[in-house]
């Protein structure tokens, strides 16, 4: 469904991605794990069109999208919940969610998705008119995911949804990610929290300094010695 072929992305002269290839199949949760600075965020930004790759191809449902402007990519059905949530702090929760559906004009369906998001995150329902900036970290994460869902994406890109959250909330967020996936949305999940990510994912990729060094089913990765040592903290 979504394939990256030998993607090279630069920040000026720094080569942040040195030939990343990966595939996400329809209906899967795929996780991309790696330490800080490995290139996870850059991968997502390259997919969503905010950064253009200098080399390589991104193919989404048979179409090349690597040179499309970001807003076009969104319209094709790829949404992302960015690193650090980046919700619109001055807009209310409701307005944030409405922004998520900016590219759509099917009013009835938007309303349905609005209800669906609020069903997933009842906490947001209680805070609809509160400015996004006044939400707690966990609520902001829910809002960021909810906002991404409002574009009714076929693929949802999640950048470190567990970052900075209390363990209870992390469990909660991951349970919801699983639920979103079961409702039919394909998920590409970027995480430093490999333990949690590999628990919900079907397959995983390990990225190190801009290079994919391993790919396997989540189960195999969990049992892999190197992964255990480096990412799961098991000796």
Partner 1 sequence: MTSGLRSAFNFGLLGGVVAWHACLVGMVESFSERRLIGETVELSYVWLVGIVLLIGYLKARNVQAPGIAVFHSIVSGATIGAALTLLALLTSVFNLRDIFPFASPRLVELLTLERGIADALGLLFPILGGAVLGAAAGGLALAPPIWRRTITVALLVTVLIGLLRDIFAAIVPRDVVSLIFTSRGLLPMGALVVFVVSGALTWLIGTFGLPGISTDASSASRSVATPWKYAYLGFGVLFLLTFPLWGKLFLSNVANFIGLYIIMALGLSLVIGFAGMLDLGFVAFFAIGAYTMAILTSPKIGTFTLTFWQALPFSMLFAFLSGVVLGLPVLRMRGDYLAIATLGFGEIIRILALSNFLKPYMGGAQGITSVARPEIAGFVISKPEPFYYIVLIGCVVAWFVAARLKHSRLGRAWMAIREDEDVAQAMGINRVETKLLAFAIGAILGGMSGAFFAGLVGSVVPKSFELLVSINVLAVIIVGGMGSLPGVLVGALVLVGLPELLREFAEYRMLVYGAVLVVMMLFRPEGLWPEAVRKRELHKDETSAPQRVTTSVTASTTPSVKD
Ligand X SMILES: Nc1ncnc2c1ncn2[C@@H]1O[C@H](COP(=O)(O)OP(=O)(O)O)[C@@H](O)[C@H]1O
Q: Is 140 in the site for ligand X (CB under 6 A)?
A: no
Give the integer Cα–Cα distance in Å for 22 and 101.
28
Q: Which residues contact partner 1 (rule: CB under 8 A)?
A: 45, 48-50, 69-71, 74-75, 79-80, 82, 86, 88-91, 94-95, 98-100, 102-104, 111, 125-131, 133, 147, 151
> Which burial class, exposed, middle or buried, applies to 135 when counting CB atoms under 10 A from its CB (0-12, 13-18, 19+)?
buried
CA angle 223, 229, 234 (to 5 degrees): 75
34 sits near ligand X (criterion: CB under 6 A):
yes
> What, of ligand X, Mg ion, partner 1, none, does residue 34 touch, CB below 5 to 8 Å by kind?
ligand X
Identify which range of 10-18, 100-108, 128-136, 162-170 contacts ligand X by CB under 6 A.
Answer: 10-18
Q: How far is the CB of 81 from ligand X (least distance, A)?
A: 14
Measured CA to CA, the distance from residue 143 to residue 118 in angstroms comes to 10
Q: How far is the CB of 35 from Mg ion (least distance, A)?
A: 10
How far, in Å, are 22, 44, 65 from residue 76 at the CA level? 19, 15, 9
Q: Please give the DSSP secondary-structure letter assigned to residue 151.
A: T
**127, interface contact from Mg ion, partner 1, ligand X, none, CB < 5-8 Å by kind:** partner 1
In this chain, which of 57, 61, 83, 215 binds Mg ion, going by CB under 5 A? 83
Q: Interface with Mg ion includes 57 (CB under 5 A)?
A: no
Q: What are φ and ψ of residue 230, in 5° steps?
A: -80, -40
* Residue 16 in the binding site for ligand X (CB under 6 A): yes
Q: Is 41 in the site for ligand X (CB under 6 A)?
A: yes
165: left (phi over 0), alpha (psi -120 to 50) or beta: beta
Binding stretches for Mg ion (CB under 5 A): 40-41, 83
């Amino acid at each position: 469904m979504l394939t990256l072929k030998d993607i090279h992305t630069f920040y000026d002269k720094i080569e942040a991605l040195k030939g990343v290839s990966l595939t996400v199949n329809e209906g899967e949760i795929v996780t991309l794990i790696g330490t800080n600075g490995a290139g996870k965020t850059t991968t997502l930004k390259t997919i969503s069109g905010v950064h253009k790759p200098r080399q390589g191809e991104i193919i989404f449902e048979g179409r090349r999208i690597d040179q499309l402007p970001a807003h076009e990519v969104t319209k094709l059905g790829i949404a992302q919940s960015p690193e650090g949530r980046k919700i619109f702090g001055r807009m209310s929760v409701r307005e944030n969610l409405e922004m998520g559906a900016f590219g759509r004009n099917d009013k009835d369906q938007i309303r349905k998705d609005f209800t669906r998001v609020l069903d997933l995150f009842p906490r947001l329902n209680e805070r609809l008119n509160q400015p996004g900036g006044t939400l707690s970290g966990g609520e902001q994460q829910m809002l960021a995911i909810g906002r991404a869902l409002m574009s009714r994406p076929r693929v949802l890109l999640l950048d470190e949804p567990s970052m900075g959250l209390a363990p209870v909330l992390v469990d909660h967020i991951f349970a919801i990610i699983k639920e979103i996936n079961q409702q039919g949305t394909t998920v590409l999940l970027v995480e430093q929290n490999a333990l949690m990510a590999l628990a919900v994912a079907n397959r995983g990729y390990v990225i190190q300094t801009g290079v994919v060094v391993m790919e396997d089913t989540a189960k195999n990765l969990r049992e892999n010695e190197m992964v255990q040592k480096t990412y799961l903290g098991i000796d």
